[in-house]
Chain A
Amino acid sequence: MLARLALTALTLAACLPGARALFPDEAGRIDWYRAQIGAPTALIPHTHNHTALLYAATQRNVVAALRAADGQLAWRHVLDGPISAFSVRDARVLTQSGANHSHVHVWDAASGGLEWSFAQPAPGRGAVFVRDCADVIALAGDALVRLAPGSSEPAWELPLNRTAAYSRIVVHNDAVFAIGDAPQTRSAKRRLHVVQVDAATGALRKQYDTAEGIALRGGSVVVLESREYGAYMVWREPENIVWYVHRLGLTAPMWELYHAKLVEIELMPPDMLTSTIAELDIDAGLNDNTPRFSLSYSKDGKSKSVVVEMFRDGDRLEMRKVASFLADGSAIAASPRRSVVAVRPTDTGAAWRVRGGDKHAGDYTYARSAYGPVARAALVYVGDEPRVVVQTRSGQLAALRPGSSEPLWTRNEALGHAADMAFLTLPPPASAAEHAAKETDPSVQPSPVARYILRWVATGRALVEWVAAGFGIASGDRPALAPTEGDHFGFRKLAVFGASTGAVTAVSSQDGAHAWSHYLTHGRTPVRIERVFVTRSSQALSTDAPVIVAAGRARNATVVAAFDALTGRVLSEDTLPLVYARAFELPATDPATGQRLLGFAVAGAEPRVAVWPPTADAARALCAHTAPLYVELGDQAGSTAVHGYRVACADVTEPWLAAEPAWEFALPAGETLISATRYEHGAQHTALQGRVLGDRSVLYKYINPHLGVLATQRAAGGIAVYLIDRVSGRLLHSVVHEQAVVSRAHPFVATLSENRLVYQFWRGLPAGYVTAVAELFESDRPDTRNESPAVSSLDLQLPSVVMAAFVAPEAATALGTTRTGSSITTRDVLFGLASGKLLALPDALLDPRRPMGAPTKDEQAEGLVAYAAPLPLDPRRVLSHGHAVAGIAHVRSAPTHLESTALVAAFGLDVFFSRTSPSGLFDQLSPTFSKANLVITSLALVAGCLLGAPMVRRKLTTRAWA
């Protein structure tokens, strides 16, 4: 059987078009890759072997170590769910993560290698290291456990019987404390519940309530852990100016300290009542003996913060002020040394001060409109020099040092939250001649004639320079291309990302160079950007700038912002008072701005389509469009019916149009929608109306731009896939996969392109992942097509569908299809694999017409190869080569000016861009083309002519005399 498989694979390899594999020198030249971690939720500095590292736990469930010197990733792991505990101690990193279950992982802090792990069948609520040994105390669900490395069973386990919502664990000497919010009842106020457990045996020693009126996450309580002095809680009761200091486990008396001026600050009661406290040593490993916290308050109209540390003077517990800062919007962080840093926003960006040990200060000059205000800070030392790492709300990380307002390094972690991306074709660069001309006379217009003349002038000048320079490399004064400057082949585009953190980021598709950024907010809330559109593209010789529009949600509103795509300047920002179900491009342009109109479909009792730009003229321009507009709603996951609406255009006086019910596609009983797929922009284009068969007859392709694909989960098991027409709501085809399983671990992914649908699902064992391909034709008979004079969704013939299923090589998290300018080139199907590979499989491999047996002569003439179920994972078709592109959620493609070549992008967490040529470089010189050969051949021809000419002349002369 294996031999047969190997033979099949060999046959496939021999029959399929040769893979256009990368050459080693192309890696990193035609592609770029950026490993992201997402916006951190905690940053802990630490030094190992004289290397300063910054450990991060992030919103994207990533734990990572960044080198403080250059911001590069030392190591990274993408965990299986939200991170509920994160700690660094004794060259080890502890994480607890998971959604419905939890995993405790202990990592080697230097290499990132896993040391040991433990799984618990409940969500994690906290985990900490036990001091001076490698054990871990973890709380998951209701079970408190002590875990030891190398042991598959916990040393002890104690069920806490749901007496409180525990979320904090403290270990001190021989005691473990679990602290949680006690349940609030009519008779009992909000308070904290503490359970004390014997650390060695897990025996319950004591449990009690304390801190009446206090919740753990209310900004009014801190837990301080000191190796020498014990573990304490400090809080201030609501409506009370007095501070309580409680030693955990000591209930008689309940308070060790009880004072109104605990933190050496004398405040008037109103100021004290609005103050908040926060823990600074977020990881107990940062400061073992004198734990610190910050008190933020307002005095005389100014916001201030003080940093306070706990210590003991003889028998007396004391609190002393370490540093004070102006604090409006500040982020304060502690370092393993005594120093603390505070970063506060200023008019030009941010200002930072280090106090408490060292004294340093500096500024960070950046545009707050680009990256948002400061969200978090960290202080790490490289040698003895401080590095202040500032995190902004959009997810940007910047490292600063004393004496410079320019960051040492930055990381744009907003890209790790990208929800959508649009390619913008850039205008070609001005030629060297134009550069030269513009330097002397900026008024020169780039007309074709002027360009032609100037090009020759500049070329002549360059030739003279080259000769003058002794045939060396001419220096040239042409500046390097800016990220917003295109090229003649269309390889350089602008990739504009919209992120859920509110960040809009434009980078060059060629090399990832940053062009511009913007932080989009609604009030102070970041807009959760979901879509990015190109509403006006680059036009040659046009003075109108291309426009990018980002749209997203913020509270109960929709925010739509338009940007000059070349500069990032905000052209308009509109807040639409609606919650949209779907945002899409409309088939009309705004008469005022020349931009493509956008539609925001709103569901509800009175469904409607809001038009952007939000003007009645724009809505009227849409109505002037001759074809009626249809929109469907209810195609989100979980729905049981999809409804189609026809947009009504009567008496348009508002920037929105009513939607009238047109059709309903009710799913069969027991089915719920899991996914809806439609054509990506331009994916329905085709250059060939049909497939030429081996006998020269033609099977005509069924191309319907309104094709929609619905995948549903069946109550009886399996999935169903429906192909519908999105204008008439008519069912075109359906197929049921009874053994398919779709879940969070096994997503359904699909791509629709031309007349072909490709989707992948988990079919259980032994099949594993199955890639199904459906190809739509107008008829199953060759040379037969729909002869209707008008092609209309309302008068449709049903397609003839040819299907085949293949065994996928690996789990895919996203599918895409390559796109080229004229759609002449065959298309590769792009698989974003869970293992981080971006795999491009050729059209021919996924052809549903592949014959089951040996192909006949006609089938061979058609280019068909024999069917084989497994799709090979050919590493030479892995575009991402050695990069592990984590978390691929979207795979996109864009055409270039060369028909052979398509740009491809994969993003989700990491970002990867490359270009590929599915049919080879037929419009370019072959990469193996030898210019040396050409030169040698030409020289040989010239030499031949030179040698031959005298001989011929002599012969002619001889003949003439004869």
Chain B
Amino acid sequence: MPRLVLILAATVLASEKTYRLRGTIAANDVLGDVSELATRAEAVVNGGEHRAFIQKDGSFVVENLTLGDWLLEVASADYAFPKIHVHIATSEEGRASVAARYVQIGTEWSEDAPVLAYPLKIEASAKYDFFTPRQGFSIVAMFSNPYMLMVGASLAAIFIMPKLQANLDPETLKELQNKDE
């Protein structure tokens, strides 16, 4: 797969060159209004080594990244976002490039996964559903209740058994009664 090479903004420090990582959270069916993330989410790199607030339009800039591998996450109280492995490297001409791929935690990162376009465009994968809906009234549930089964059995004994007895041949009935005795 061709490796997407893009120029990153670079900041020269006395000791080490640092880079900015840019991205945007895009609206989708899950998250229609990205401005609601502005005060409820952050872009987090390497679990908290670097953080960036998200702007009203969903864009963010993570500062001070050095060459190497980084894990980009969007920490939100309400939405789940995919995790992204970001590899920052320099080409032979000394130009910086970024290769970003979706990853799953707990797995080896494969270079076979497709490279994402840069600047990154991230979409929410799900809205967290924290609650279990209460079960409403259900006639099936009511009749599957042990109490109701007991009642059903009792009623059957009261109403149906005499009818069964009535349908029995008198001789058979007598036989049965004799057996009981």
Please report A residues at the B interface, Cβ cutoff 8 Å.
Answer: 1-2, 5, 21-25, 27, 75-77, 80, 101, 103, 105, 108, 111-117, 119, 121, 152, 745-746, 762, 765-769, 807, 809-811, 834-837, 868-870, 873, 875-876, 878, 881-884, 927-928, 930, 932-934, 936-937, 940-941, 944, 948, 951, 955
Contacts and interface: CB of A to CB of B under 8 A. Distances in A.
A21 B128 CA distance: 13
A387 to B, nearest CB: 24
Nearest to B68: A765
Given A876-B130, A881-B131, A870 B48 contact: no
A617 B108 CA distance: 64
Contacts of B78: 882
Given A27-B131, A768-B71, A836-B77, A116 B64 contact: no
A114 B47 contact: no
A851 to B, nearest CB: 17
Interface stretch (B23-31, B52-60, B167-175): B52-60
Contact of A837 (B13, B52, B77, B151): B77
B119 to A, nearest CB: 12
B103 interface: yes
Given A1-B107, A121-B13, A944-B151, A114 B38 contact: yes
Given A105-B53, A936-B142, A25 B134 contact: yes
B75 A834 contact: yes
B147 A933 contact: yes
Given A746-B49, A870-B106, 10 more contacts: A23-B134, A75-B39, A113-B38, A115-B56, A810-B75, A835-B75, A836-B77, A873-B80, A944-B151, A948-B158
Interface in B138-160: 141-142, 145, 147-148, 151, 154-155, 158
Given A22-B130, A111-B39, A882-B130, A768 B105 contact: yes
B91 interface: no
B53 A77 contact: yes
B141 to A, nearest CB: 8
A22 B132 contact: yes
B39 A112 contact: yes
B142 A113 contact: no
Contacts of A933: 141-142, 145, 147-148
Contacts of A119: 63-64
B47 A768 contact: yes
B133 A24 contact: yes
Given A114-B54, A944-B155, A745 B47 contact: yes
B75 A766 contact: no
Contacts of B53: 77, 105, 114, 117
Contacts of B13: 121
10 contacts: A1-B104, A23-B131, A27-B131, A113-B35, A114-B54, A745-B47, A767-B106, A769-B47, A875-B129, A944-B151
Contacts of B9: 152
Nearest to B138: A930
A927 B48 contact: no
Interface residues of B, number: 60
A23 B107 CA distance: 34
B90 interface: no
A144 to B, nearest CB: 17
A948 B35 CA distance: 68
A75 B53 CA distance: 14
Given A746-B48, A835-B77, A948-B158, A116 B142 contact: no
B142 to A, nearest CB: 5
Contacts of A934: 147
B132 A23 contact: yes
Interface in B62-95: 63-64, 69-71, 73, 75-78, 80, 85
Most buried by A among B64, B106, B129, B148: B106
A105 B53 CA distance: 9
Chain B facing A: main interface SS: mixed
B163 to A, nearest CB: 12
A114 B56 contact: yes
B124 to A, nearest CB: 13
A21 B131 contact: yes
Given A75-B39, A882-B77, A22 B106 contact: no
Contacts of B130: 21-22, 27, 875-876, 878, 881-882
Contact of A932 (B47, B77, B137, B147): B137
Contacts of A108: 56
B103 A766 contact: yes
Given A105-B53, A875-B128, A765 B71 contact: yes
B106 A869 contact: yes
Contacts of A114: 38, 53-56
Nearest to B20: A152
A24 B131 CA distance: 6
A111 B105 contact: no
Most buried by A among B38, B78, B80, B133: B38
Contacts of B135: 928
A121 to B, nearest CB: 6
Contacts of A75: 39
Contacts of A22: 130-132
A295 B148 CA distance: 84
Contacts of B46: 745, 762, 765
A77 B39 contact: yes
Given A113-B38, A834-B48, A870 B105 contact: yes
A152 B151 CA distance: 77
B51 A80 contact: yes
B108 A766 contact: yes
A937 B151 contact: yes
Contacts of B110: 1
A948 B75 CA distance: 65
Contacts of A768: 47, 71, 105
A19 to B, nearest CB: 8
Interface string B1-23: 00000000101010000101000
Nearest to A928: B135
B45 to A, nearest CB: 10
B5 to A, nearest CB: 19
Contact of B49 (A77, A745, A809): A745
A23 B146 CA distance: 25
Nearest to B70: A765
B158 A5 contact: no
Contacts of B44: 811, 834-835
Nearest to A6: B104
B166 to A, nearest CB: 12
B116 interface: no
A115 B154 CA distance: 73
A944 B148 CA distance: 12
B47 A762 contact: yes
A441 to B, nearest CB: 45
B40 interface: yes
A939 to B, nearest CB: 10
A460 B133 CA distance: 38
Contacts of B109: 765-766
A769 B46 CA distance: 9
B61 interface: yes
A302 B118 CA distance: 67
Contacts of A948: 158
B106 A876 contact: no
Contacts of B103: 766
B107 A766 contact: yes
Contact of B85 (A2, A23, A766, A870): A766
B12 to A, nearest CB: 10
Contacts of A810: 47, 73, 75
Contact of B128 (A105, A745, A878): A878
B131 A884 contact: no
Contacts of B104: 1-2, 5, 870
Nearest to A105: B53
A5 B107 contact: yes
A96 to B, nearest CB: 14
A948 B160 CA distance: 12
